[in-house]
Structure 1
Amino acid sequence: MSSRNAGGDPGGNRATGDTRTKCSLKTSNSSSLGKIGRMLGRRAREKSVDNSLFSVGCITRGQMSRLKQISSDDLDVVTTSLIKKTTQNAAGSSGGTNSNKSKHVMKRKHDAETSREPEKKPCKASVSNIPRHVTAVTNDVNPKKRKDLRSRTTSTESSSSNSSSCKESNGILTAPSTPTKKPVVPGDTAWLQRFLQWNSREKIEMLEHLIGVCQPHEVRHMLEVIEPQFQRDFISLLPKELALYVLSFLHPRDLLLAAQTCRYWRVLSEDNLMWREKCAEEGINEPYISKIMRGGCKRAGSVWKSSFLRQARIETNWRNGNTKPPKLLKGHDDHVITCLQFNGTRIVSGSDDNTLKVWSAVSGKCLRTLTGHTGGVWASQMRKNLIISGSTDRTLKIWNADTGSCMHTLYGHTSTVRCLALHGNIVVSGSRDATLRAWNIDTGECLHCLVGHMAAVRCVCYDGHRVVSGAYDYMVKVWAPETEECLHTLQGHTNRVYSLQFDGQYVVSGSLDTSIKVWEVEGGTCLHTLMGHQSLTSGMELRDNILVSGNADSTVKVWDILSGECLKTLEGSNKHLSAVTCLQFYGKFVITSSDDGTVKLWDVKSGKVVRDLVTLDSRGSGGVVWRIRASQTKLVCAVGSRNGTEETKLLMLDFDCESK
């Protein structure tokens, strides 16, 4: 074979190359081997094999394309051996082209003889270093070509296990011997058994190493095999009960996204019981029955899901300040609104002008004006269509909200009725005469009189079983109304008690001494004294074990009554600038009003102001928000001023609207 043919165009020599036996590297002259070595050296640096081997007639184009996958390390080994072979041939060669041709003929005869002899077992060192994708080249070679290639790779070689360089045996080039593991071959499961014996960390490290040495097309193949395993619809393979159980762990937002996956997932995501549990987690205890839709058809799907989505939309509106046009409910002239009740459909306001007004929470119109008291109204309660009021004229009155008529006038107290607590058809009143009385609102009868305080009763709670009262004598008392017995006198405050919360197990009292105390009802013991406020606690709300307190020092605090820890102080650059007058603890939010003429919405979890819900034009110059009441969708504020800068009125905001 001439030097020209070794480096010539493979396409031009293909016809003649297929008609003769491919010559081996051993019979190539020094010029040809040198050229091949230089070509392979260049291709080794490029991590690919071009047409070099095809040019010398060793393999076909199909085999050559597979050899392109040989790693650069393997090519470096081949290149080094070829350069060594070139040097040896150059030193011992003295003939020309004719001599090379005679050697080539002798080589062909030798190959023919060795092909008939029993095939020798290859050396371990040689086989262990032949890449699988190199040995696989011979799979599609015709028998004649395969025989020639086999003769190149199965020659016997004597080598040491520690050898690090290529060796030559019988003129056949072999790979260096290294202490590597026997390669995995099809049908051999020993490697799999060993892999299974490794721990998880070792398996992961092995897989990472395997991926690192794989060629890109091999990695792509692994990806094609693995990826479908993560795209299986395992939910559809489960029984419905188990599928619903799995989906119940999703956040509602993720559950809504899952419903868009396929029809079956959508059916599962409409499960009414699952959405009822989601609603309970958000404090939604009643389903929202939607109105008749256009066309006379009711909304399809889970009513609890509809309730949840509606709640989510309304919550977004609270955060973003999206409301229907505000309604102004003007009344009571320039007097102070002293008490406020709201049940979602009706608003009842009491004033020091001796009257109460009943308003529609839908239209904002004044439905009734209740007149009859001869003194200012300082306390009120509402149940369905009944309204109970207490006045400075020392009486209580029971009103029919539908007709505006007074059903009963309750006499017994000898001073101003300052506070009321309603449970069922029993109302308990506290008075400045230091007594409490229990009344039947259906008959107007006084059932019990509780005597024991030494000063005016300022606040009272009643859960249907126990009565708890706080007074200006610094005391908190727990009563059994049926026996008119004082069960416990809770002593510890050093000033007047202005506010109370009672959940049946714990009593929380707020005092002018700036402290808040947590009491255990049955034992009458003080569990915690909550310190942190600097002035009078004007209002408190208790939900489970979380207490929110508003103070005249302009701060709002969130407490855990079981641990006595202050969880959050609701403040910041946008905090109230004056005393907190009232607060409402509603789900995730706290709503507060202040003497500074603003109403703020706070996020309980973060302790930050979400936004200002109301800002009076007269803020900072006398405008005051005295009272607030909130429902899921509405906020009612009683506003006015101390110096006539703001007219007395009610402001109603409705957040049940489409989000912008």
Structure 2
Amino acid sequence: SSLSGNKDSIYSLAMNQMGTVIVSGSTEKVLRVWDPRTCAKLMKLKGHTDNVKALLLNRDGTQCLSGSSDGTIRLWSLGQQRCIATYRVHDEGVWALQVNEAFTHVYSGGRDRKIYCTDLRNPDIRVLICEEKAPVLKMELDRSADPPPALWVATTKSSVNKWTLKGIHNFRASGDYDNDCTNPIPPLCTQPDQVIKGGASIIQCHILNDKRHILTKDTNNNVAYWDVLKACKVEDLGKVDFEEEIKKRFKMVYVPNWFSVDLKTGMLTITLDESDCFAAWVSAKDAGFSSPDGSDPKLNLGGLLLQALLEYWPRTHINPMDEEENEINHVNGEQENRIQKGNGYFQVPPHTPVIFGEAGGRTLFR
């Protein structure tokens, strides 16, 4: 079954524990509500002025919390089909929400890097739990006890932090909370209780003019040297001057562009577009390859890479329908075994992920 109705990209989704209500948020700036049992569209809730990035439902599906890039948190009554409260806690977009079991306190984080706990019954009572070093993308409450003892936080950096909530209830009881934005109080926590460290992500890259090698720099300022053609890292150069390495590896050669690079995942993502992936031709000698017959043929870089990547592509199996077809398949199989796999010059690492997709981004094969 499918739930239709959204016109733009969906950025948030929530379902209550009983499985009676599903809510979606998108760049339409509205909340759409369905009954997943019948796939019926129940309502559309308007109020946000920007992308809806986070959603939460209470147990029985009567109330919904939403966080938006417009910087607000809204509490909705699904029975009344309207917004019943708006919380302006953050200076910038709200990207992540968590709520306690009783649905009385909301934990929020987002672009401003601050994580607050707000009393839904009294919005003036809010506590600044901590301030992360990067925008907050996702949060998870430790529900091993009630009230929750800790909060796990993921940001745009690669580490995951655990922040204690043990002192937050004394904080509320004492009345020492942030109800005056002109005189903000310090955060409850200054250091996380626990850190799960992630790998360094690549933040800068430069395609060398041989259109085969790339220099990258990561969040730890380490520089690395990559070979796109062989889909592998050649060398870790350490903490060296990035610009100097680019100058050092400059070659007096012209090769057309045949691939593009993306760093959104924190790793090198190479894209081959059908319009230009076969544009670059070099001699085997210039590419560092030798031919068995001693010749120096022209090689297509995009073609070589595709042949190497497809060397590991799984074979298609066809079940023969009859004896005649079985004989044909047997002959074809012998011919296939004689076909050389790969490109005959090099292999790429077998774990290299390969995705075939359309120009719009839709994945066809993986």
* Shorter-chain TM band: 0.3 to 0.5
Larger Rg: 1
**Greater strand fraction, Structure 1 or Structure 2:** 2
TM-score, structure 2 normalization: 0.46
TM-score by length of 1: 0.27
